[in-house]
Amino acid sequence: MVTRLLVLTELFLPTKGGTAVWAAEVYKRIGGKEIHIVTADVPDDASAAAEIDSVHPNSIHRIDLCRVPWLKPESLAMYVRFFFISMRLVLTHHFDAIHAFRALPEGLVAWAVARLTFKPVVIYAHGEELTTWGRGGKYKAMCFALRHANHIVANSEHTRDTLLGMGIDPGHISIIYPGVDVSVFRPGLDVSGLRQSLGIAPNDKLVFSVGRLSRRKGFDQVIRAIAQLRTENVPVHYVMAGIGEDEDYLDGLIQEHNLQGVVHRLGRVATEDLPRWMNACDVFAMPNREINGDNEGFGMVFIEASACGKPVIAGAAGGTGAAVVEGVTGYRVDAERLEAVVDSITRVLKDPALAESFGLAGYQRVGREFSWERVAEKTSLLQRELG
């Protein structure tokens, strides 16, 4: 049976981030050109986008989704463009459903198109967007879109519970975890030259993190933990990859604790080098916490590290319990307490057998539950159940 879907996602490769990867990886495993993906163009990386679109099995449509500052609201033009291309595609193709990767803007556009064309709508919920928009007009619009969807895909139990707290019918919610490309993120990759490039000795311990450099991710707590471990003569280095609003703040912490040459901030990392760094580290750590309602909805980086056979340390906040099994694949800690972060890193670094056990358990769990093929199977099953 051929599955014909219209997929709306502002975020898509080559844009970084879990949502962009999810949209690119799942639907190419469900169908071919009969699945149409509408997404934003990326003028700053147009050549990479063109290359991705030329080989991607699905039909990719890129449009200008930039906000216009002088419009009120600034997003009005984006919604209009999203709506008209979606309507054109629905009227010229026989889609089974419309899948929207967020409630706003995609879900609201999907609802408007569905009202006119009688197509079922599935909206994805990722967690952080549900708790960071206050209770104003944007929040009300998001609730409207979610409550009028035929079904909602939550990325974790935590996200599902948040949706229930918003008054969403539990019968309209399914949990589908995001996945990982196990052919890319795997143990045994060539890591030669990585540690040497930063002056890290072969026998030194290495903690690695990657993500948007924002306060809730907990990079600052790892820096403080490394400073304490170095005072205890633990030969440990810390490498963090990513860009974001906290770059200057984190650089200041490195200087404050005299960790130049010990803590290494890489900035953007090439796609092919990310699994190599995960192979090169001794532990992956991102002790996230909730700040002003902003939290981690799932944490795809944890399962990517687990897929590489590494022990992982997460914060206890948000939906990381779906990605990290406490005491089995790693630790979930109260990331507000520095001593908890220090203790978890210390235990893993000083107990090779424990680290190996966590890494193996994580690797096996990813193979069972988190391959993109498994995610695609669950998504296809959901679509069949919706008719």
Residue 245's pLDDT is what? 95
**pLDDT averaged over the chain?**
94
The arrangement of strands across the sheet holding 36-40 comes to 59-63, 36-40, 5-8, 97-100, 121-125, 151-154, 173-175
Determine the average pLDDT of the residues in 124-135. 81
- For 194-369, CATH gives 3.40.50.2000
Average pLDDT, integer, range 336-365: 98
Sequence spans of domains, the chain: 5-179+371-386, 194-369
- Per-residue pLDDT at 197 exceeds 90: yes
The pLDDT tens digits of the residues spanning 22-42 come to 999 999 999 999 999 999 999
pLDDT for 267-279, tens place per residue? 999 889 999 999 9
Query: What is the tens place of the pLDDT at every residue in 278-325?
Result: 999 999 999 999 988 778 888 999 999 999 999 999 999 988 999 999
**Is residue 71 over pLDDT 80?**
no
**What pLDDT does 18 receive?**
84
Q: Does residue 133 have a pLDDT over 90? A: no
What was the pLDDT predicted at 296? 85
CATH topology of domain 5-179+371-386: Rossmann fold (3.40.50)
Q: Do domains 5-179+371-386 and 194-369 have the same CATH topology?
A: yes
| pLDDT at residue 269, as a whole number | 92
Position 283 scores a pLDDT of 98
Q: What is the pLDDT of residues 107-119, one digit of tens each?
A: 999 999 999 999 9
**Each residue of 141-195: pLDDT tens digit?**
999 999 999 999 999 999 999 999 999 999 999 999 999 999 999 999 999 999 9
Pairing of strands 151-154, 312-315: unpaired
Q: What is the pLDDT of residues 330-340, one digit of tens each?
A: 999 999 999 99
Which of the two residues, 127 and 96, has the higher pLDDT score? 96
Q: Is residue 17's pLDDT more than 90?
A: no
What is the crossing angle of helices 338-350 and 352-369, to 10°? 100
Q: What is the pLDDT of residue 79?
A: 92
